[in-house]
Amino acid sequence: MIKVVKRVLYLSTLCILCTYFAYIHVAVMHKEMEKVTTNNQRETTKVKNILIVAYMRSGSTFTSKILEHGSNTPAFFSMEPLWQTYRKCHRRKKGVCCPDNTCRGPLNRQEEIGFALSVLQSIYACNLTELPYEILRSFRAFPSTGSDYIQSAKCFESKTSKMNVKQDLCLQHLTHLCKASSVIIIKTLRVDIQLAMLLKSYIENVSIIHLVRDPRAILSSRKEFNGLTNDPLSVQSEHLCWTMQQNSMDATRITNNCFTLQYERLAKEPEKVVRSLFKFCELTFTSNTSRWLQQFTHPPMEEVKHQTTRSLVIPGPRNSSHVYQKWRQNVSWREVEIIQRSCDQLLRILGLHVFAGETELRNLSFDVMKN
């Protein structure tokens, strides 16, 4: 009987000890998980997410390069992820609006607001495996991060959405580049400021930049690179200026959450403007940034001469203080008159001169900016 009691006591003690050590083990694991979660959260807060809301030929690639290369920190750049979805149109809160001045409802799930926001969220989270195939193709179509590798490895080349081992390797490569970056930049022409603010309600640490440019310069550049539609110039200029004006008005209501960047001022006074821009985006402007910016915006003449046509579409180093008014030498006075009639109010909002005649237009000593 005594032996039985001793055996029961022994087993009871053993159970209590096992339970105690199990509890200790779980508690330690829980603490470790808390530590990992805290570290992950800390790492997440270190990543700077930047969204550039721009317009075709507004200087957005020039701006993106400054943010991507001038910040002296690893950056991941996604250019036009929604290109395949909206093409020449863009997504506003009220619908899908196109250059012919018409807006319509979404034709399919991919044109819904939720789809656009989920794409942007996935890129900022580096969850690139969540992206539909047609979105991944933007990394091949545009000079985004990893585009050289994607071109050489022939990633996302097929128009079909069939994934294979090669595509998986491409995704792994992009995901690695994204997760290794402390700045993630998305440039899009296809969402408006209202949608950008809606995104900010889901992802707090997103810096929104609204890039604006003289509509006369934008439309002149579009014509030069075959970017105009078949619609009359008056219709295209009305659509562009109405969209930019609406976005500008929305941006002024949220000045603490949106940085309005005027291309003309960036090109004329790059260091002054970039310092303000970096401060808004919580990026560090260093002496290296200053040197890189000087080389990028005021390169030696020999370097400018050797630029190809492609480098004008995807800008390399060039004298920005000369470039921002160059359109005035090429555009016809008739075209300027049409655009000015459609965009008079926007030009005044942006602080730009409305030219009284062709003589004033061609005189580059008469700056396009009022102050």
Amino acid at position 41, single letter? Q
Q: Using an 8 Å Cβ cutoff, are 166 and 153 in contact?
A: yes
- What number is the average pLDDT over the span 49-60? 95
CB < 8 Å & 24+ apart, contacts of 244-248: 244/55, 244/212, 244/215, 244/346, 245/345, 245/346, 245/349, 246/192, 246/193, 247/53, 247/192, 247/193, 247/210, 247/212, 248/210, 248/212, 248/346, 248/349, 248/350
Domain boundaries, the chain: 54-302+319-362
Q: How confident is the model at residue 319, as a pLDDT?
A: 66
Question: pLDDT band for position 16 (50/70/90)?
Answer: very low
For 305-335, how does the pLDDT look when each residue is reduced to its tens digit (9 = 90+)? Answer: 544 444 444 455 556 767 889 999 999 999 9
**Residue 135 Cα distances to 91, 97, 122, 245, 289, angstroms:** 15, 20, 11, 29, 32
For 233-273, how does the pLDDT look when each residue is reduced to its tens digit (9 = 90+)? Answer: 999 999 999 999 999 999 998 878 899 999 999 999 999 99
For 60-104, how does the pLDDT look when each residue is reduced to its tens digit (9 = 90+)? Answer: 989 999 998 877 789 999 999 999 888 888 888 778 988 888 899
Q: How confident is the model at residue 5, as a pLDDT?
A: 44
Return the CATH architecture of domain 54-302+319-362: 3-Layer(aba) Sandwich (3.40)
pTM beyond 0.85: no
Amino acid at position 369, single letter? M
